[in-house]
Amino acid sequence: MKLSFVAKGSDLMRQSAGRLLFAFVFLFVAGATAQAQDMTLRMVVLERLVQEDPGAAIKAIDQLYTEAAASDPADPRVLFDLVRLKADLLLERDQKAEGARWLAEAAAIARRNRELLDIDPGPIHQTIAQLLEELGDLRNARAQMSAVLGLQQDGAEPGAVLAETYGELARLSAAMGREADQQRYEQAAANALIPQDEATRSSDSVGYREVEVFYATDRARTGDAEPETFYGWGRGTLELGTLIVTVPDTRTKGLVESPSIWRLEFGPNPAKHVVLRSVTPVKEDLFYTTMQSRIEARSNKELFVFIHGYNVDFEQAAKRAAQISYDMNYGGLPVLYSWPSAGSTVGYISDTAVVRLSGRRLSQFLEQLVARSGASTVHIVAHSMGNRALTDALELMAARRDVETGEAPVFGQILFAAPDVDAGLFAQMIQTIRPLAQRLTLYASHEDWALETSRRLHGNAPRAGQGGEYVLVDDNIDSVDMSELGEDMLAHSYFADDSSALADMMSLFWQNASPQRRCGLEETKTEGIARPFWTYKRGACSSQNLIDAMALMASSDVQSGDEVRQLLEKAVDDDEVRNALAPVLTRMVED
């Protein structure tokens, strides 16, 4: 696995220390401004410093890491990215021993915070083993590969994967002169390749289901065959394909399950966790003919496209797209568009540099999807910085099609979740975009740290996804402040204990329901503005029951209050649940 995050700059960039570099160092060391004292802003500054002078960046990382570790609570995402970045910079300077030590710290942080970070420490241990072997420390190199083996065994990895690791352990044992260990590992490798009874490996018997997701991405391939690292963060050309994500049968709706060190779970097990199992690039014609056949076989002829945000790698995006589909019991087809986010908190600037180019490619992909997918309706959900790509893509589509209000919309629902877009620019763009969709919905939050950082970076100009005092109100869009649900609309914290965001999204997909007809939304007035926005109230809806009920109604093509009540009578045994659901669902179908 290639662990490196650092974007190596040109010699000219590295030599251009001058005033700009002095300003960056001053911000770190002296903390001269209020912005520099904000950790997230300083991470952005660090990204620029890495390009200018890696040596100064290493010193800045040490200071930032000390401060981040001492904060209460410490953010594991920041700690991991700082440690990983320092390891990369050290290895770039050929300081292998020190680099390996910091990689070991990165692996430890990943193990302790597996549920939040969703990072497999196994490849990090493999990289450490390689470095230690190059340094002649065979004993500790073998210990690192033993850790990899333990993770793979717990994660129910295929026999071929285990056999390869046993082979590495055998090779290292031979180099150490440990003949008995060598023979033991060689025998274990042979045993791992013995075919297992297929019945024991079926998804039904081991407690997980497979979710197929169609994808488009302009990420470059890494050259790694492993699904989780098949695509990196470099720019590539547009590729199409399918991927398989496994989802446990028993799980909390909205929560992307990952192993927890506290439950003694060290590797991903598909019966317990959401796992990206395969990534298969497909040629364009086959992609669309396969998509058409999948849609033809479904009762729901729709699809939705999910566009991820800042600080998301391909694996995380794939799992989130599958999770949304699975947890909504979505009868249509999930599609992912993944742009080349660096997947790091120390990657804001690099993400902003690539996302708008992806918007051009996304625009062409959406055109093809509408024309060739076979779907009756195409919905779109974009998150965070992914909205920059989406708004550009839609504005280009509107210009090409010369659409006007009153014409048949191209899309069903377009949902802008916590968009990291200038609020003024966004308000202008949606005037052009509005005719493309049945309904536009903006989900905002004042708890989103990334948007608050972006606001400060952009001269205190509000972002379209900010809630509270910054909620954007416009006649072209329904604005919903989801701040009560936590950090941001599609972040882990939202879904860890509340599936309300999914329930609201599904009510839009199912019935194009206006805010007045949806559960948990309270009308909120702004002084001097006639149009209201809507505030979500936590606990107002039985969201998980509501999701299941809406999926049932959609699959049965229910269109009236009488049909709602009749189907609930047949399907729901609990009187209390049935009585709670009936008025909510009836309000959605009866305008």
Flag the least confident range among 39-48, 177-186, 418-427: 39-48
**CA 463 to CA 424: how far, in whole Å?**
8
**Reduced to 3 states, what is the DSSP secondary structure of residue 561?**
helix
pLDDT of residue 329 exceeding 90, the answer is: no
What integer pLDDT is reported at residue 566 of this predicted model? 93
Per residue in 523-570, pLDDT tens? 998 877 878 999 998 878 877 789 889 989 998 889 899 999 999 999
**CA 64 to CA 55: how far, in whole Å?**
15
What integer pLDDT is reported at residue 151 of this predicted model? 82
**CA 113 to CA 102: how far, in whole Å?**
17
Backbone angles phi, psi at 409, to 5 degrees: -70, 150
pLDDT of residue 152 exceeding 50, the answer is: yes
Instruction: Calculate mean pLDDT across residues 39-47.
Output: 70
Percent of the chain residues past pLDDT 70, beyond the cut:
83
What integer pLDDT is reported at residue 544 of this predicted model? 76
What integer pLDDT is reported at residue 397 of this predicted model? 96
**Reduced to 3 states, what is the DSSP secondary structure of residue 55?**
helix
Per residue in 231-257, pLDDT tens? 999 999 999 999 999 988 754 454 444
pLDDT of residue 51 exceeding 70, the answer is: yes
**CA 73 to CA 80: how far, in whole Å?**
14
Instruction: Calculate mean pLDDT across residues 383-391.
Output: 94
Query: Given pLDDT bands bounded at 50, 70 and 90, which one contains residue 200?
Result: very low
459 contacts 424 by C-beta, under 8 angstroms: no
DSSP symbol at 427: H
What integer pLDDT is reported at residue 543 of this predicted model? 73
Please tell me the pTM assigned to this model.
0.75
pLDDT of residue 203 exceeding 50, the answer is: no
Query: Given pLDDT bands bounded at 50, 70 and 90, which one contains residue 120?
Result: confident
One-letter identity of residue 406: G
**CA 546 to CA 92: how far, in whole Å?**
52
Per residue in 73-107, pLDDT tens? 788 888 898 999 999 999 999 999 999 999 999 99
Q: Is 139 exposed, middle or buried (0-12, 13-18, 19+ CB in 10 A)?
A: exposed
